Chains A and B, each alone.
Chain A
């Protein structure tokens, strides 16, 4: 389990820590989750993307954490249901003996798979209630929902009809840390990623980090359409209105933006993208 006392102390320590300890997490078609702290939305989202990428292989395997408390957390987040959906049946069996005290915890939003944009839109009311339950006031909950909705739109707008795997749609995970008045909300997709989406319009883009940075400036890969800019709004509102952080991992690139500026890092590659906004409330 992560050290709660470090939360809010710096630039997304949880995410930095996740990648520092992720060396060797992937070995061929095996994903070893016993090596990393998976008890936060970002780690769960990246783990899901790694598992989705390997779902087609008959020798796919996931090594679960040993710690009973972590397994309880994973079950509460319905990680077992995602494993079942992806066909990691050996691991699903491990959860059959795991007991959890309660399903309802207003500080977590279990992993939710929205296959289609209509499914995502239909759940927006529920996600607005989630933000209120986390402790946001009326206007902040609405603002968080706009950020959330725009991130979700991007998933479908840039991947419709072009999903690289048989797994389509978005994965949503959120968690509230009441002691630190911090909310983490992650949206992942096993889609074409920033580079795949933008390269047609900007063939000069050399890597995933450059593509994410291009997207953050408001450029879009939808050639011939007058659109884009949603990501700029997400960025501005996350940072200026919530003093928060926007994290984006697409392909092998990680970009983190906050009030201090932008940081980039090459990280282990994933299929698609995971974006997370971290916000603070009073």
Chain B
């Protein structure tokens, strides 16, 4: 099976603000739909992303979950970036956080 991968570095190296997160969801939707993706998961690749704020992460990840409720979101590329992991954990702990 071919997995759909969203490379977050293509959205920016520093990802901040809810507005940017919402815009990123809209772009991601076009990318995913354009690929006619049929896989059950969606890989969010954070390689080479320096900083993600909780506002962006919340808006982006919860937006994707709402958009694709049947896909499993898998994170990769956050290894070695403790701050990024902490932010993603915050989002994960709250489910669809506020």
By a beta-carbon cutoff of 8 Å, the part of chain A in contact with chain B is 117, 121, 124-125, 128, 139, 142-143, 145-146, 149-150, 152-153, 156-157, 218, 220, 226-230, 233
Closest approach, in angstroms, between the C-beta of B57 and any C-beta of chain A? Answer: 10
Known: A139-B82, A229-B54, A230-B55. A146 touches B94 (CB 8 A): no
Set A128, A139, A146, A157: member contacting B18, Cβ < 8 A: A157
A153 to B17, CA, bound (A): 6
In the complex, are the beta carbons of A145 and B98 less than 8 A apart? no
Closest approach, in angstroms, between the C-beta of B86 and any C-beta of chain A? Answer: 8
> Inside 8 A of A150's CB, which chain B residues have their CB?
53-55
> Inside 8 A of B20's CB, which chain A residues have their CB?
121
In the complex, are the beta carbons of B83 and A153 less than 8 A apart? no
A220 to B98, CA, bound (A): 9
Known: A149-B51, A149-B53, A150-B53. A226 touches B14 (CB 8 A): no
In the complex, are the beta carbons of B98 and A117 less than 8 A apart? no
Closest approach, in angstroms, between the C-beta of A18 and any C-beta of chain B? Answer: 29
Known: A121-B16, A125-B14. A146 touches B98 (CB 8 A): no
Closest approach, in angstroms, between the C-beta of B47 and any C-beta of chain A? Answer: 15
In the complex, are the beta carbons of B54 and A233 less than 8 A apart? yes
Closest approach, in angstroms, between the C-beta of B78 and any C-beta of chain A? Answer: 12
A34 to B90, CA, bound (A): 45
CB of B67 closer than 8 Å to a CB of A: no
26 residue pairs A–B, Cβ–Cβ below 8 Å: A117-B19, A124-B16, A125-B13, A125-B14, A128-B50, A128-B51, A139-B82, A139-B83, A142-B50, A142-B81, A145-B14, A145-B51, A146-B51, A146-B52, A146-B87, A149-B16, A149-B53, A149-B55, A156-B17, A157-B17, A227-B98, A228-B98, A229-B98, A230-B55, A233-B54, A233-B90
